[in-house]
Amino acid sequence: MLDRFGIWPVRLAADTAYGDAPNLAWLVDERGIEPHIPVFDKSARTDGTFARSDCRFDHEHDRYICPASKELRPSQRTSAEPRSQVDQDGFIRYRASKHDCDGYEFRQRCTPNTPARKIMRSIHEGARDLARDLALTDAYVTARRQRKKIERLFAHLKRILKLGRLRLRGPNGAHDEFLLAATAQNHPRNGQARPATGGDGRRVT
């Protein structure tokens, strides 16, 4: 689209399958495109214990502040040689002090099964936060509604016009198949367009 038509998208709407951290970071940081995409996030809890959203992240000091106003840092240990705090999946593990957790009155609501609370934070969390903020806007609601219209057309192409599998080979063959399918799809839609009328309200032929 960029090379053929010179069109640069301002926003992109998609489902949760595209809401992983690396994809959101690619859209935001490398392309400058607003992600109107639900964030793929497993940090929410359904057992009544505190979730990550109950903790506040302090950007200036690179730490989380828990509901008890205690801090969680990337490492609670001092090492002679600095080691990378990012794991192979691109996450940083923030840990609380066991001493702080032992004396917490709501420990059973925070970390009932581990000695100290841990929080995983993606290195692309900034892009994820932007996507979460965009999800609260009216533009996000509009984009999601418009996406459903487009997906309905693709579902029609796949299920009704049987375009789930291409029959012609090569890029040119794919182009021809999609062109014919889009023509067949648009023909009845054009026939449903409201006819033009003259000043007296009569149909213009």
pLDDT digits (tens, 9 = 90+) for 12-25: 999 899 999 999 99
Q: How confident is the model at residue 39 (pLDDT cuts 50, 70, 90)?
A: very high
Q: Is residue 203 part of a domain?
A: no
Q: Is residue 34 part of a domain?
A: no
Residues belonging to the chain:
205
Q: What is the Cα–Cα distance from 72 to 97, expressed in whole angstroms?
A: 7
Q: Is residue 102 part of a domain?
A: yes
Which residues form the domain of 107? 52-76+83-124
| % of residues, the chain, pLDDT over 70 | 87
Instruction: With a cut of 90, say whether residue 32 has pLDDT above it.
Output: yes
Q: What is the Cα–Cα distance from 127 to 24, expressed in whole angstroms?
A: 6
**Per-residue confidence (pLDDT) for residue 198, from 0 to 100:** 58
Q: Is residue 200 part of a domain?
A: no
Q: What is the Cα–Cα distance from 21 to 40, expressed in whole angstroms?
A: 8
Region of poorest pLDDT, from 37-41, 172-176, 194-198? 194-198
13: helix, strand or coil: strand
Q: What is the Cα–Cα distance from 129 to 143, expressed in whole angstroms?
A: 18
Q: What is the Cα–Cα distance from 86 to 121, expressed in whole angstroms?
A: 9
Q: How confident is the model at residue 75 (pLDDT cuts 50, 70, 90)?
A: confident
Structure tokens at 153: 């057309």
Contacts for 139 with CB less than 8 Å, ≥ 6 apart: 11, 36
DSSP 116: S
Q: Count how many domains the chain has.
A: 1
- Comparing 81 with 141, the larger pLDDT belongs to 141
